[in-house]
Structure 1
């Protein structure tokens, strides 16, 4: 099941596991795959803690980190995360806030305890994702940085390459794949609309060959609804260098998922 990309990364199986759970990253990489930790939801300080833990438990296996820096977004260019968060909050109409509060009150949903509240903006844009990328690249066992939304900025691509690591980017259309390739992205992840995350409107079996035709020698990972060995074999036969998977890792024993939520995936 070896592919050229698997050999480059030093892994046995070209299975890339996107997850927000550090335990899953470690389990997959130690089993011969390639775990990728989603950084969205972590402050730079929290991400450092997570990566230190992974480094301590993963042995000599490699892994990756996934960040989000869209090509366009409100507040683009902002470098202070707190200021950007307040700026975006100010754009939410009061009637929207009132609707949410009424909905919660009507159904007797209590307020979250202060210690359980999450920041509403963590990881989208350079204000947070920039420092996240720097932290990820400082860890020797991190061999891949992926951008989940849009072509990575030129300075990020240059920084990744200067550290001797690879950079990947997700796409949902051949046009997006072409932009990634032109920008110098090493790996393009073609995610069909069957994917559980943010996707385009093209089905996986249509998207993958179209993207392969655009990329030429640039490696492609197939994503979007991949959950079995047969699907993986089909993707590899088509020309993919591996598969990028996500949702299925919410159902494994190592996943940090509440029991009721996990059961809902099987019902």
Structure 2
């Protein structure tokens, strides 16, 4: 199961775990895989605290995931600080959208945040605002891998990361995007099928993985989208993937910082309860369908804005959902893939890692028996 990318990173198994929770990232890395902390939502100062904690608690190495979209409203505006760019983009957000978002939350009884809490920050949704996050990452030697969630990273970011001896890659949802990553000189690609949680394309993993693997040749491909047990890891590896990139799987582990009410929503959900929606970020992302996503889809309501403007509208709802998860149960931001239908109990992260490896080996043994029969 140990592939070339394991050798380059010094990890035991090619299981990569995207998570917004540092405890989960540390537990996966310490179990032989690679925990990848999602940086979006953290200021540079907050990210410094998170990575310093990971440095202390991770025995080996970990990764960090950025969100620098290749296309977004305001791209090309130069010479502004993150705060100045945020203020300029805020001018483009219609009041109608802010009022509609507030009405949804108010109608469901979700309390407002304290007046002194500033929450309309972009926090990494543009190249300008992600720049300070990159600087933080490069100060932490155990942060050996950087991934960009939306498109090919800017050339200067690629150079900075690679010159520091780290690996940098990006997610893709099509062969076209994978080839763009390869031409840019990235070290790996994460190929995510439409089953995956968060931002995703329209092609299923079983169809997309081999297409991308064939297209990029020797460039390592990490398979993502719909991986919840070791059988799915084995399927990805059988197609030629260099590893498995997982995300939704870690929402329901003991170490996760998902509030109990929200976690219960995940545990009770089936694979039929997800939807690709632009209602939170402005780009199609897979999440649980609820009254927030349904409200933005109606013909008599405002249409979601382009990224990052929609996130500037929705971020208040994200933060209020975290603060008041019981009240926000029907309108919370619940990014998750179709594999949510397999997530029906809470497990320890180390136990999940062990289970994935055992299920992978069992699947391989089953194939070996078939091949030798």
The TM-score normalised by the length of structure 1 is: 0.95
Structure 2 residue aligned with 1:64: 63
Residue matched to 1:45: 45
Matched, 1:124 2:122: no
3-state DSSP of counterpart to 1:8: helix
Q: In structure 1, how many angstroms separate the alpha carbons of the residues matched to 2:71 and 2:97?
A: 24
Q: CA deviation at 1:72?
A: 2.0
Query: Contact between 1:44 and 1:128, CA under 8 Å: does it hold in 2?
Result: no
2:261 — aligned with what? Answer: 260
Q: Mean alpha-carbon deviation: is it higher for 130-139 or for 78-87?
A: 78-87
3-state SS of the aligned residue for 1:195? coil
Counterpart for residue 30 of structure 1:
30
Q: Alpha-carbon deviation of 1:93?
A: 1.6
1:32-111 map, 5 Å: 32-59=32-59, 61-76=60-75, 77-78=77-78, 79-111=80-112
Give the equivalent residue in structure 1 for 2:348.
none
Deviates more, 1:144-153 or 1:68-77: 68-77
Q: Secondary structure at the match of 2:69?
A: coil
Mapping of residues 4-15 of structure 1, within 5 Å: 4-15=4-15
1:116 CA displacement: 5.8
State the Cα distance separating 1:71 from its structure 2 match.
1.4
- Equivalent residue runs for 1:220-259 within 5 Å: 220-259=221-260
**What is the match of residue 166 of structure 2?**
165
Give the superposed CA RMSD: 1.4
Deviations 1:75-126 (A, max 9, x none): 2244411122222222122222222333344343321124665344111112
Larger Rg: 2
* Cα separation, 2, equivalents of 1:16 and 1:91: 37
Shifted more, 100-109 versus 139-148: the winner is 100-109
Query: Contact (CA 8 Å) 1:195, 1:225: kept in 2 or not?
Result: yes
CA distance in 2 between counterparts of 1:264 and 1:109 reads 17
What's the CA shift string for 1:209-233, capped at 9, x where partnerless? 0001111000000000111000000
Aligned counterpart, 2:207: 206
Given the two structures, how large is their TM-score scaled by the length of structure 2?
0.69
Cα distance in 1 for residues equivalent to 2:43 and 2:201: 28
Q: Secondary structure at the match of 1:151?
A: coil
For residues 258 and 101 of structure 1, the distance between their equivalents in structure 2, rounded to whole angstroms, comes to: 22
Question: For structure 1, which runs of at least 5 residues remain unmatched after alignment?
Answer: none
Count of residue pairs the alignment pairs up: 266
Query: What runs of 5+ residues in structure 2 fail to find an aligned partner?
Result: 269-373
Distance 1:24 1:240 in 2: 24
Structure 1 distance, partners of 2:224, 2:149, is 12
The alignment partner of 1:135 has SS state of helix
Q: Secondary structure at the match of 1:101?
A: helix
Matched residue SS, 1:189: strand
